[in-house]
Amino acid sequence: MTKIMFSAGESSGDQHAANMFKELKKQMPTVNGLGMGSIKMQQAGIDIRCDSSNIAVIGLVEVLKHYGEIRSALKLMQKLVVSEKPDLLVCVDYKEFNLKLARFAKQQGIKVLFYVSPQVWAWRPGRVITYGKAIDMMAVIFPFETTYYEAEKVPVTYVGHPSVDKVHPIHSKTEDLAYFSLVADSPIVGILPGSRVNEIKRMLPVMLSAAEKLKKEHSKIQFVLPQADSISDELIQSYLQASSVNITIIKNQPYDVIQCCDAIMTTSGTASLEIALLQIPMVIAYRLSAITYFFAKYLVNTKFIGLPNIIAGKGIVKELIQRDVTVENLANEINAILYNKQYRETILIELAIVKEKLGKGGGSKNMADLAIKMLNK
């Protein structure tokens, strides 16, 4: 019986691995999956031996705070590689952790498929060679990434971005507006403060303050917040109780919520790409710890942090970073998106081009096909 080990350390990786395994099951019904992940992987039928919920952190300071837990998780996964002897290890994102795990697995004679490349186009391009020595195949999700690996003769396959397949609302916009009790002819603003605890702590208060400012200026504006699975009710409510604005919280239906919006305040990351695929104008805002940001300024070699802007190769949506993340800047940009018709139309045209560049999808099936090909070699 074929056995595949998965290693996913964050919410998005958990979802990607789950979708890939579902596709694998269609072609190989007897395949067994095990490893590190969270609720989505478990629901897909993967045997979770290491829960990643507490180690889904980003930034130097945050990693240091959770270093003990991260190290324990790595040791557990290494022991599993030895005891379970999987036919293939699939490392999904969670770069530094999975690089260490991949190296270990290779030493044990295990084939390694790495899913989602580190952002070598943004910083530390030398990592292409480092990863090339630890893996058997790199599966990239943006078409322009293959060039970096091909230049160093590292096996690489473009599989497409997984978000293209999964970003589809369940219901029509009209049905959702009624179901969520939203008024169709009044502006709807989405608040997406992130899927990590430290993101919520840094971003939600300023987004809620911006919502209060907008509400004072335009009394009919409505606000919605699609709550990430990884964020507890207690954490969200601790901030909402201090806000004077009524925010509609909706769980488990992020794409239905997003399609109802006229404008969105979001953190950077996969969420910004999903919003782009649904063609909703947005402002991208992000804050890191002071230490992480200090190092990032000197290490990162890219003009943009938002995926829509990176894919477009230019600033098509506003980015607010660190000190620029203010109540006034957020509110002003949402005002421009809602009430400057020409500005709004320009953003929509550019978002359509980004969506076209990402192609027609099939990322999860392509990953399953690639895994089977590697198993059969």
Q: Tell which residue, 331, 344, 279, 276, has the closest CA to residue 309.
A: 276
Residues 304-313 pLDDT 10s: 889 999 899 8
Domain with CATH 3.40.50.2000 in the chain: 3-160+362-376, 173-357
Q: State the chain's mean pLDDT as an integer.
A: 91
Q: Tell which residue, 181, 150, 120, 190, has the closest CA to residue 330.
A: 190
What's residue 124's pLDDT?
74
Question: Which numeric CATH code is attached to 3-160+362-376?
Answer: 3.40.50.2000
Of 15-19, 77-81, 263-267, which range is least confident? 15-19
Average pLDDT, integer, range 13-19: 92
Q: Quick one: 70 exposed, middle or buried, by C-beta within 10 A (0-12, 13-18, 19+)?
A: buried
Residues 6 or more apart from 138 whose CB is under 8 A from it?
Answer: 114, 117, 131, 132, 149, 154, 155, 156, 157
pLDDT score of 294 more than 80: no
Average pLDDT, integer, range 47-64: 72
Percentage of residues in the chain having pLDDT higher than 70: 92
Q: Write the Ramachandran bin of 171: left for phi over 0, alpha for psi from -120 to 50, otherwise beta.
A: beta
Of 133-137, 191-195, 259-263, 346-350, which range is least confident? 191-195
pLDDT score of 88 more than 90: yes
Average pLDDT, integer, range 1-24: 93
Q: Tell which residue, 298, 300, 296, 340, has the closest CA to residue 318.
A: 340
Average pLDDT, integer, range 85-107: 96
What's residue 198's pLDDT?
87
Average pLDDT, integer, range 208-229: 95
Question: Which numeric CATH code is attached to 173-357?
Answer: 3.40.50.2000
Average pLDDT, integer, range 116-145: 88
Higher-pLDDT residue of 105 and 1 is 105
What's residue 43's pLDDT?
97
d(CA 259, CA 275): 8
Higher-pLDDT residue of 285 and 322 is 285
pLDDT band at 29 (very low <50, low <70, confident <90, very high): very high
pTM for the structure as a whole: 0.76
pLDDT band at 289 (very low <50, low <70, confident <90, very high): low
Average pLDDT, integer, range 284-291: 80
